[in-house]
């Protein structure tokens, strides 16, 4: 730590953002890096705490605490304070294949476990990370790393989300010939179609990294749905490749099978987000919207996570009439509760970008808490016209489990012509699981031990959300790297991959 009183001298200052009403006019990223001096001051706040929980990457109370890929956070914070940006980039790339992704979309469990956060606002780790990699690209420090030798081994990676890309990157650097198969028309998985452009730019950020991987020797095949596609079957992949790594994600969305579910206007969130991003890319963000849009509609988003927030922000950019976001859980406290101590992830109330934008348009946070949906209301033509909701309380049942209980007299209706279900995911889609004859766990995820990633089929590995269930981008990178390491060991007998 070069500045002994950094965290006392400098106050936490995050990246600036374009004003909500201004950014709603476009689909571009809206976060703005501060000047180098500002970021160096923020790096100086890293306090040389001796036991840096920020990069430990473990699970506390079922939630990520610290960085799952063990980023060397104190090291690169100190390096940017000393104006040694290229060295900081080198340290960052030692553990993170894609800091331009995590620096934009990771919820930053590192900051939740920052030791400084016990007594003061934590270090702006996420902003610092993003600034380092963006400067690296700007300065031309990020260039193709082409392996000097090839092993002669061929690996198929199925799925091009963060787990698949991280796995492909690592295996390619180990000298193997890697082919990535993706069912969509563009590479990137949820990075491309699951996260809106204003959070993660597709052409300038995602495609830039995909092009770099291609220049380094990774082959990409799009429009191939392994498990459904008649050409690339499980048998053919196992015959033509020395190993297969499955990184297909947990893309089976949680539905809401209540009365009126067949109403025209009720959609899974990912259907809405994917169609929008594909349309915007195909039409160069020309100001028009896809057929599945929120324009002029009363929109209700059911679910309060990141996907729900993305639905709110997307609906507002479409020009919706109104947007409401329903959460079945209670409103979080403004400060850590006694049963949520550091270094657990702080479960506190905050407004993400979508809620800030809705508040700027509508005058208040669009979220309503402790709400359950009873039924969808249809008109005579089967179109959605509203939904019936009620307030709930959480109470223990006979077996001591917390269950939602309807509050008497709380039933009311909301107008809605579009409902977006953003209630999480149930697990991987089963076509490819069945074709490879893979064993699954009780949650339908592919059974493969963390750290080993081996399935019941020799030479077939599984990683990311497909193995662990719905999780963070940074955990997907962790698993992709780990699966690459074990795949390399399987192919070569030993491995030098981290």
Residues 373 and 449 in one domain: no
182 occurs within a structural domain: yes
Residues 216 and 105 in one domain: no
Q: Are 355 and 316 in contact (CB under 8 A)?
A: no
Domain that holds residue 224: 154-251+426-492
Look at residue 162 in the predicted model and tell me its pLDDT. 98
The model's pLDDT over 155-171, given as tens digits with 9 standing for 90+, comes to: 999 999 999 999 999 99
Distances (CA, A) of 173 to 22, 147, 177, 342, 485: 43, 6, 9, 38, 11
| Sign of the Cα pseudo-torsion (93, 98, 104, 106, in order) | negative
Residues 67 and 185 in one domain: no
Domains identified in the chain, total number: 3
Residues 321 and 359 in one domain: yes
Residues 468 and 361 in one domain: no
The model's pLDDT over 475-489, given as tens digits with 9 standing for 90+, comes to: 999 999 999 999 999
> Which of 423, 440, 471 finishes a domain?
423
Secondary structure of residue 86 in the 3-state scheme: helix
147 occurs within a structural domain: no
How many helices and strands, by DSSP H and E, does the chain display?
A: 18, 20
Q: For residue 18, give the CATH number of its domain.
A: 1.10.1060.10
197 occurs within a structural domain: yes
d(CA 383, CA 404): 29
Look at residue 228 in the predicted model and tell me its pLDDT. 82
145 occurs within a structural domain: no
> Which of 375, 407, 423 finishes a domain?
423
109-145 residues labelled b (16+ CB within 10 A) or e (exposed): bbbbbbbbbeeeebbbbbbbbbbbbbbbbeeeebeee
Note the maximum CA span of the chain.
71
Enumerate residue ranges in the chain where pLDDT < 50.
none
Q: What are 180's strand-pairing partners?
A: 157, 220
Q: Are 1 and 46 in contact (CB under 8 A)?
A: yes
Look at residue 58 in the predicted model and tell me its pLDDT. 85
Look at residue 1 in the predicted model and tell me its pLDDT. 64
Beta carbons within 8 Å of 364's beta carbon, 6+ residues apart = 358
Residues 125 and 174 in one domain: no
Residues 297 and 411 in one domain: yes
Q: For residue 296, give the CATH number of its domain.
A: 3.50.50.60
Q: Which of 16, 20, 19, 10 is nearest to 35 (CA)?
A: 16
Residues 11 and 49 in one domain: yes
| Sign of the Cα pseudo-torsion (322, 327, 331, 336, in order) | negative
146 occurs within a structural domain: no
29 occurs within a structural domain: yes
1 occurs within a structural domain: no
Look at residue 180 in the predicted model and tell me its pLDDT. 98
Q: What are 414's strand-pairing partners?
A: 387
**pTM of this prediction?**
0.96
> Which of 113, 138, 163 finishes a domain?
138
Residues 216 and 165 in one domain: yes
d(CA 354, CA 196): 11
Residues 207 and 334 in one domain: no
498 occurs within a structural domain: no
Residues 301 and 267 in one domain: yes
Residues 297 and 409 in one domain: yes
């Amino acid at each position: 730590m070069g500045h002994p009183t950094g965290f006392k001298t400098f106050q936490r200052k995050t990246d600036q953002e374009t004003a909500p009403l201004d950014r709603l006019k476009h689909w571009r990223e809206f976060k703005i890096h501060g000047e180098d001096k500002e970021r160096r001051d923020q790096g100086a706040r890293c306090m040389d705490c001796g036991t840096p929980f920020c990069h430990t990457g473990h699970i506390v109370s079922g939630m990520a605490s610290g960085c799952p890929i063990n980023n060397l956070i104190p090291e690169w914070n100190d390096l940017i304070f000393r104006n040694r940006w290229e060295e900081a980039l080198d340290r960052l790339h030692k553990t993170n294949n894609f800091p331009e992704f995590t620096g934009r979309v990771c919820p930053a469990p590192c900051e939740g476990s920052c030791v400084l956060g016990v007594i003061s606002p934590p270090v702006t780790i996420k902003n610092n990370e993003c600034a380092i990699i963006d400067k690296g690209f700007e300065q031309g420090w990020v260039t193709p790393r082409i392996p000097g030798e090839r092993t002669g081994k061929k690996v198929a990676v199925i799925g091009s989300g963060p787990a698949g890309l991280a796995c492909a990157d690592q295996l390619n650097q180990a000298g193997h010939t890697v082919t990535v198969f993706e069912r969509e028309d563009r590479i990137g998985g949820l990075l491309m179609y699951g996260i809106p452009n204003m959070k993660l730019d597709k052409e300038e950020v995602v495609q830039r990294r995909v092009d770099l991987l291609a220049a380094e020797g990774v082959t990409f095949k799009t429009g191939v749905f392994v498990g459904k596609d008649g050409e690339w079957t499980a048998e053919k992949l196992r015959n033509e490749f020395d190993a297969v790594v499955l990184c297909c994600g947990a893309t089976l969305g949680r539905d809401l099978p209540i009365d009126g579910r067949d109403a025209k206007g009720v959609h899974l969130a990912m259907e809405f987000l994917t169609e929008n991003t594909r349309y915007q890319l195909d039409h160069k963000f020309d100001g028009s919207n896809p057929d599945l849009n929120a324009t002029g509609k009363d929109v209700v988003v059911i679910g309060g996570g990141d996907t729900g927030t993305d639905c709110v922000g997307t609906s507002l950019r479409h020009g919706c009439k109104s947007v409401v976001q329903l959460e079945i859980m209670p409103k979080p406290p403004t400060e850590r509760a006694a049963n949520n101590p550091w270094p657990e992830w702080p479960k506190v109330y905050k407004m993400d970008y979508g809620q800030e934008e809705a508040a700027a348009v509508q005058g208040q946070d669009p979220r309503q808490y402790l709400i359950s949906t009873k039924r969808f209301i249809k008109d005579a033509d089967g179109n959605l016209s509203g939904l019936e909701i009620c307030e709930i309380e959480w109470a223990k049942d006979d077996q001591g489990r917390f269950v939602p209980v309807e509050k008497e007299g709380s039933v009311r209706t909301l107008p809605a012509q579009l409902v977006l279900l953003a209630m999480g995911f149930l697990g991987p889609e089963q076509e490819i699981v069945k074709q490879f004859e893979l064993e699954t766990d009780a949650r339908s995820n592919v059974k493969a031990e963390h750290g080993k990633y081996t399935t019941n089929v020799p030479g077939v590995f599984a990683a990311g959300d497909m193995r662990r269930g719905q999780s963070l981008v940074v955990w997907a990178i962790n698993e992709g790297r780990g699966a690459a390491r074990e795949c390399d060991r399987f192919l070569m007998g030993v491995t030098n991959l981290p």
